[in-house]
Chains A and B, each alone.
Chain A
Amino acid sequence: MSQTVEKNPTATIAELQKISSQVRRDIVRMVHGCQSGHPGGSLGCTDFLVALYFYILNHQSDFKMKGEGEDMFFLSNGHISPLWYSVLARSGYFPIHELATFRKLDSRLQGHPATEENLPGIRIASGSLGQGLSVGIGAALSKKLSKDTSKIFVLMGDGELQEGQIWEAAMYAAHNEVDNLIATVDYNGQQIDGPVDEIMSLKNIKAKWEAFGWDVVECNGNDFESLLPALDEAIARSGNGKPILNIMTTEMGYGVDFMVGTHKWHGIPPNDEQLSLALGQLEETLGDY
């Protein structure tokens, strides 16, 4: 029997780990089910999205596009959609069985997140990289204008920082003191063609964002002991005139030993044998869809 789980700001790390395990199972099953999609980054960011939706965000699974009085999350690196869909379903935004339709014809669960089919939880399309930070800043400005003190959260990939629009947005947010915004970079060091350092290095990523005028926190995104305090710290530092960047080190493919730490699993699905190997490493805690 599959389950959804309510947000619980007092959740223990053990409880969050259980949810992560199930979400990781969902991810590998979804990409296996359609033989398409992006397991690597999805597995790497699982703990982060679980922390957001089950611990950090003030949100309602009874979805309202406008999100008045709610924190909002924007996924800029839209290709890790299986992760987001699983977390949304497990939080009660839509039925868990719908995860089985991922990337299939007539599904609301498009390859990359989209609003056209009104999938609850999605406020904007993403997939073409570099756009989500701007959108998040716009939403943050809108919150400020309506005196809504909720926060905006954005997730970006590290390879995605090669897109110029990110730096337009970074400059804008600092200049205009958009301090109700907490952006996270998934710093896994990998992109499609290989390690980010080989393709086009980000060099000193922390110094770059600080030079742009952002307040930077750092954490290990695959360790709740590091991740949760960092997110709490980011929230504590918000409202002080600077946008906040969370540089979150993760391992692509985390949780499945043969997928860890390589760009090779960025965008390919496991075969039947690989699926059962992967599922053998991920405990079924909330019931498969």
Chain B
Amino acid sequence: MMFPETLRQLTWVLLTLLSHYRRHPGQSAFMAIGLLTGVALWSSVQLINDHAKASYGEADQLLGAESAYWIRNPDGGGIPVEEYISLRLQGFAQVYPVVESRVLTTSGEVIPIIAVDLLALPPAAYGSGGMANSPLAGDSWLPFIQPGYQSWYSAELAERLNILPGDEVVLSNGRKMPPALIQSRSQQGFRAFMDIGAAFSVLAEENLSYLAVTALDDTTRAKLESTLPPNLRLVKNRQVLDLTQLTESLHTHLAAMGLLSFAVGLFIVFNAVRFSLLSRQGTFNTLREMGASVQVIGAAIILETIGWSLIGTVGGLMSGYVLSGVLLPTVAGTLQSLYGAIVESDIELGLNQMLLAWLMTLLGLVLALAGPLWHRLRMNVIEGRSGSLMWQQDERARMVMMWSSLPLFALALACFYRIETVVDGFVVLTLILFAAALVLPVSIQFVNSMVLNRLSRRNWKLRWAASDAFAQLPQLRVALMALLLTLTANIGVTTLVNSFRDALSNWLEIRLSADIYIQRTVGNIDTLAVTDGSEWRIASHQRTGVSTRWRGRPAIVQGVDVSAPDIVDMQLPEQLSDASAPWASLSVDPQPILANEQVKHLGQVALGETVRLESAGQQYSYVIVGFFHDYGTPYYRFYLPSDVVKQRWQNVRSEGLALWVAPGMLEMAEQTLIEKGIDPGEWIRQADIKRVSLEIFDRTFQITAALNSLTLVVAGVALLAALLAVHQQRLPEYAHWYSLGVTFQEWFKLVAFPLLLMVMVTGLLAIPLGWVLSWMLVYKLNVVAFGWTMPLVWSWMPVMQLAMVTVMVVISALAIVALQVRRRLPVALKQLGGMGL
């Protein structure tokens, strides 16, 4: 065959095939919706992940300026301005001052604050515009650095705190934030940005929190280190590395959810492709009867597929881009509150992401196409004309699916015992979920046959309805599988979140037993610790801490008072039988130590084993006598008696003071604090910490909830699409029912009953699967990812809610379908007899 002729053939075949979509805009719409939602959800998560990871690369930047080092005061007391000025006068222009703190508003919101001296930032901070962007260029900067000042809030933070331009937020210490501007600097994140002068007046503070330092050559660094006063330390900023490591698990979680959404979107596509092929079966046959070769038809289908993949990619990426912008604030909030990572709000779409999205879409489409196409093309023309084959095929397909689920289950079981990383865990989960989805059609068939067998011949209407399930199942099964996955994910993740919240609030209850917590920045904390004799004071606990590294990750060693109430009452999920006694004694060697669970699960250390920690250039061994829960911390943490910490480490900082107050004497206690010169903003009540902690928790899981609902919506759309297609295809059949005298109400019952039955089976199957999923998440993935353990808390409430939502989704889909059928029935009636099925 000559090439131009093939091309001409291909063109006509393609045009003939594409004419289908013009005639069936509904099918085209669902194809597009499936591709779009799948790609959009997946790419939005992908974009957020990539963007967050890229932001970690900027963690050595502070508000646009380089911050390769920090100069800190390990005592926690901050750095006097004179010490900073002295460094500048000695020529260290690489050093610039930072104030970072948190304030509490009268409405109980915590606002993190960051302040710098814009005039002291290194010149590179002014961006590509060079010095033309410096503070002295133009006069827009003047109000920022002059009394009156300004607070800058990012649009996201302003929205969360409900702040309008010009607002002066009132704080719990009675002071006001400078007037608000909805504006932000790079790396500002969810922090209010202001001048140091403003911060000092808002915080009633005189000392700088720390100094940031740009990259230094070795000579300058040595010179700077030798110039620093003895109370200050030059520390390397290792956040780029640390954040990447610490947040890895969170991103894997997000990626998994994104992929699930993609899979669910793919189910819609799968359906749409099946129907577009099925309804064009006649066309295929005719084309082949007219002499178009299988190859040409195949090539046309491939071209069509590429076309669809491009539509899906472009549309999906555009919606994903918008969606990621909507979802980003919650993720960014999580990253900042959990890891201190600053993620900016300007997402960029790169060529890599576009290509990846296109490949994913193409892969999905090919997967969706391959099976049906294989069947179609393998059939000869005569077989293709026969409608009844589908029935036998479907029964066979159900069995094939069931049998193919077995190796998946087996593989999942085999992998289950080797879960070591988060990715392993997700692989097992995926295997279980997909295996279960493959079993679903057979399960539905089984339940349906059971119902059929129980019904007597007399109950013919119900029997008819039940048997109609077999007519709907072939087309609906993919959508039902998608629904199963969604419901399972929903139940599993909700249970995880609820279990976590439960564990967290119980833990906070025990851990935060003191009534007042005084911040560590308060200078005269030592004098406060000895407020003995005050009648309100029951007990106090002054914690100390030192930052170090263990196994290459940041670790905190805390010095605790072994007799303080919160240590005495501490509940250890795991401990050596007589843990507390030797731990308290100082003379034992090796020194006993308590570690957080992260040390056990992420550091792979068992009870009774020893850990080595470096202090003052020397390695000391400690034997672990107990593990404690430490939710929300990405770091390793160890507890040692204060004296040991003081003995072995220099640079021990104060971690604040906890006070236990006699019942009903809280006011009196706070009065005393004020008399001692402590500002009302410098302590926080127990109830406030708990509330804020749970708020941060809830914010953290907003993204989960959002993705959950979005996926449910997608599954709903999948079901609707499938239903519409089924009923569109069965219209002639319905017309015939009508000609038999079946009324519309009867039709509705006939169609709705099996659908509800099938959805019910799906839902019931989702409950045990959801439990398995949550079990995996709570006891396996969570431990591997974050090193936290907690008991699984099963609640029927969310399951019921989900059931109601699902029923509502199904009923709405059904209602839409019913309207469609009603509208189209007259046409179908006229064609009755004239056209076959």
- Bound together: no
Q: Which residues of A approach B to under 8 Å, CB–CB?
A: none
